[in-house]
Amino acid sequence: MKTMIVTGASGGIGRAVAETCLTKGWTVGLIARRQAALEEIATKHSEAVVLPADVTDAAAVEAAFAVFLDQAGRLDVLFNNAGIFTPSALIDEVSVEHWQQAVDVNLTSMFLAARAAFGQMRRQDPQGGRIINNGSVSAHVPREGSVTYTATKHGVTGLTRSISLDGRPFHIACGQIDIGNAETDMLRDLAQRAKAKGETPPPMMDVQLVADAVLAMAELPLNANVQFQTLMATQMPYIGRG
C-alpha cells in the first residue's frame, strides 16, 4: 500500500488531493491545524491518519511525521502544500508581521516538512520516495501588490531544485506543481466579492483537476519525475503577465 503525507490537508487543494488519494487506496497522513476538519475526512476514509499540527513549528512537524510512520511504516510521497495569502499591498505598506507570516507558512513550513520527509526516505528500506511541492504561477511571475506571496513562492522553486539535486543519490524525486486559480472556497469567496463590486470574477478550474494531476505525479515510478508542471485556468492572464 502506498503512503503519503499532505500538509494543509483540512481544506482546498490539500483536502482534494488527500481525499482523491484515499479513494485510490493510499494511506494518507493529514497535517493541518484544524483537527475537526481532518477528523471529518477520516470519518469517510479508514486509511486517513489525523495529524493536527502547526506546520511552522519544527517540533510539531517532526512529531506528526513520527506518529504517521509509527502507523504506516514508511513514507512514499509528501505533498508539501500548506500556504497562505497575506493582504495585498505595495512593499512599503506591507507590515513586517505579514512578511514574516508568509515566510513562516509558505517557505519555512515547506522546508520543515521536506526535511522530515527527506530524512525518512533516505533511511527507509527500500530507500527513496517523492516530494511534490505546491508552487504557484506566482513562482514564475507576480501579480501586483503580492511581494510576500511572490517572494516566498520563488523560494519554493529554489527548494524544489535543491531537493531534486540532493535527492538523486538516495532515489528521492522532487517536483513542483504550479497552480493557477483552482476553484476552492477561498477563490469562490474572491469571486463573490468581485461580483459584489461589479468586477469580473477570476477565471477558475475544477480543483479535482489539480488533485488528479498530483496523483499522476505521485504514481510515477521513481526513475521518472515531473520536475515542474503548470496547471491553470485557461483564461488566466498568465502568459504576458509580469
Residues with catalytic function: 149
Residue 47: closest CA among 6, 83, 101: 6
**Inter-axis angle of helices 12-23 and 207-218, nearest 10:** 50
Provide CB contacts within 8 A for 159, sequence distance 6+: 107, 110, 111, 114, 133
* Distance separating alpha carbons of residues 88 and 3, to the nearest angstrom: 37
**What span, in angstroms and rounded, lies between the C-alpha atoms of 92 and 154?**
20
142 preceded by cis ω (within 30°)?
Answer: no
CA torsion sign for 224, 152, 37, 33 is positive
Query: Residues 86, 115, 72, CA angle at the centre, nearest 5°?
Result: 105
Contact 2, 129 (CB under 8 A): no
Cα-trace Rg, the chain? 17
Rounded CA-CA distance 11/3 in Å is: 20
